[in-house]
Amino acid sequence: MARILDETEGFIKIVIDNSTGTICGASIIGPRATELIGIVSCAVQSRMPLQQFKTTIIPHPSLSEAIIETVR
């Protein structure tokens, strides 16, 4: 999807608390990063377990798919 925007570089890092299995935060660099971080922000705020986050339904095709692919 990023190639559609003529962007070929970017970075997504999801931070997980290994003791609880919950998502603590993320770093996103690339096209529309400010839109993508909202998905992770909701997961952090709700203390979502990684296993639940992995099964979150994300629109296809979209840049936000990259977030779920990062944790799979």
- pLDDT tens readout for residues 21-47: 999 999 999 888 998 999 999 999 999
| Residues with a known catalytic role | 60
Cβ-based neighbour number of residue 54 at 10 Å: 11
Domains in the chain and their CATH numbers?
2-71 (3.30.390.30)
Please tell me the predicted confidence (pLDDT) of residue 60: 86
DSSP the chain: -GGGGT----EEEEEEETTTTEEEEEEEESTTHHHHHHHHHHHHHTT-BHHHHHT----SSSTTHHHHHHH-
Please give the model's pTM, rounded to 2 decimal places.
0.79
CA distance 38 to 34: 7
CA distance 56 to 5: 24
